[in-house]
Amino acid sequence: MKISPFSPLELGGATAKNRIARSATNDHLGNTDGTVSDAQIEMYSELGRNNVGIVITGHMSVVPDLALRADIVQPSIADDSFIPGLSRIPAELHRYGALAVAQISHAGPKGMVKVDYNSLTVAEIDLIVQWFVDAAVRAAKAGFDAVELHAAHWYMFAVALNSDLNKRSDCYGGDNERRIAPLLRMIKEIKRVTENRLAVFVKLNAHNTLAGIDDYDMLVSYASALHEAGADLLDISGMSFAKQARDAECYFIDAAAAVRNALPDAKIALVGGIFSRATIEKALQVADVAAMGRTLLTQPDFVTRLQAGELEKSRCIRCNKCFEVFRTKFERCIFGPVNNKLKETFEDK
Ligand SMILES: Cc1cc2nc3c(=O)[nH]c(=O)nc-3n(C[C@H](O)[C@H](O)[C@H](O)COP(=O)(O)O)c2cc1C
Ligand code: SF4
């Protein structure tokens, strides 16, 4: 059955007005003290105004030490003092009826100070679990509809789930059950302390070995455990998203299909290589949500223009220069500032 991208979707008690998500995108626009900037509010406003139904923030650090963030301008969600600034994001998105999702992470080996999962004690991992739970409570207090636990790409909990990178032989390593255990505890605790009022999404890698071959048994095993623990959306990504061919479409769709077949009742988002009406429709044949990163980075008004029939395809050429151009202040894409208001706001800082 063909599902319209513009039909509503229930996700853990919250209702998204459509099935199109802005995938988490670290914007490099935060303040160095970890607070949210005016430029970020303007950026989220533009996504909300332009009919993106689910807006997932760039990843925010749960680690109390700001020096362990992913970069010097990554927003923090590790202290109650950040709640008033963070609350501006859902307030802005809710003006347009978009769901506001705070992605929360520990940068681990990708932080400014690198932290190796294998060298942590069990007590230290338990403390990190608690940091995620505390961060989720702050997200709820700030008015977010959901949190997304970042367990994808190369960050701390992607390492935990990767059977080659996780070399532990204690209660957090050695088999699938032990590798997934900290994430399951996070979900259960977040649900308990927020009394089920906050939806919990989890972003996962399609492949959880370094060879990156079709190890979907491991993915399905993790997905089943997360679903059973109460995860409201499984967001399927992968470590290789920046290495795909320019014209590659929906490159994690087979992984999403494996999860769909095993868990017909789970809600699934697919991200990676969705850049046109056709690829959104292709993604929704398997997943409940079509999530886009670079497409909305270069054209935040992509969905509005798609709905109006003004375009069929993103202008993104998947050059991956967006990982570098943020160093030139307001520019986020080789096509330029993207948004002049963003330029003004950023330069005024
Ligand atoms: C500049 C940039 C920053 C990103 N930051 C994040 C992030 O903070 N958290 C995350 O989970 N993924 C992040 N991603 C990955 C995207 O969410 C997405 O998974 C990836 O870009 C593939 O989707 P796409 O083909 O639609 O761009 C980032 C991607 C880009 C290009
Ligand atoms: S910099 Fe390149 S990959 Fe990134 S959004 Fe712009 S065109 Fe796409």
Q: What is the pLDDT along the chain (349 residues), one digit of tens a residue?
A: 688 999 999 999 999 999 999 999 999 889 999 999 998 999 999 999 999 999 999 999 999 999 999 999 999 999 999 999 999 999 999 999 999 999 999 999 999 999 999 999 999 999 999 999 999 999 999 999 999 999 999 999 999 999 999 999 999 999 999 999 999 999 999 999 999 999 999 999 999 998 877 679 999 999 999 999 999 999 999 988 888 888 899 999 999 999 999 999 999 999 999 999 999 999 999 999 999 999 999 999 999 999 999 999 999 998 888 888 877 767 788 887 666 666 666 655 4
Distance CA(150)–CA(197), nearest Å, equals: 20
Distance CA(36)–CA(86), nearest Å, equals: 6
Taking the domains of the chain in order of start, what are their residue ranges? Answer: 10-348
Residue 173 has what DSSP assignment?
S
Classify residue 166 as left (phi > 0), alpha (psi -120 to 50) or beta: beta
- Ligand 1 neighbours, Cβ below 6 Å, are 23-26, 58-59, 103, 150, 152, 203, 237, 241, 271-274, 292-295, 322-323
- Ligand 2 neighbours, Cβ below 6 Å, are 294, 297-298, 316-322, 333-335
Measured between alpha carbons, how far is residue 244 from residues 216, 300, 314, 333 in Å?
Answer: 19, 22, 16, 18
Kindly provide the residue ranges of all beta strands, DSSP E only, lying in the chain, ordered along the sequence: 9-11, 14-16, 20-22, 54-56, 60-61, 99-105, 146-151, 199-205, 233-237, 268-271, 289-292
Ligand nearest to the CA of 318: 2
Q: Which residue has the tokens 């490099």?
A: 28
**Using one digit for the tens of pLDDT, what is the confidence trace for 115-163?**
999 999 999 999 999 999 999 999 999 999 999 999 999 999 999 999 9
Residue 3 has what DSSP assignment?
P
Query: Domain 10-348's class?
Result: alpha beta
The structure's pTM equals 0.97
**Using one digit for the tens of pLDDT, what is the confidence trace for 12-59?**
999 999 999 999 999 988 999 999 999 899 999 999 999 999 999 999
Measured between alpha carbons, how far is residue 234 from residues 133, 220, 223 in Å?
Answer: 18, 11, 7
Our mutation pick for probing the ligand 1 site, out of 20, 22, 25, counting the most ligand atoms within 8 A of Cβ, is: 25
How close is the Cα of 318 to the center of ligand 2, in Å?
5
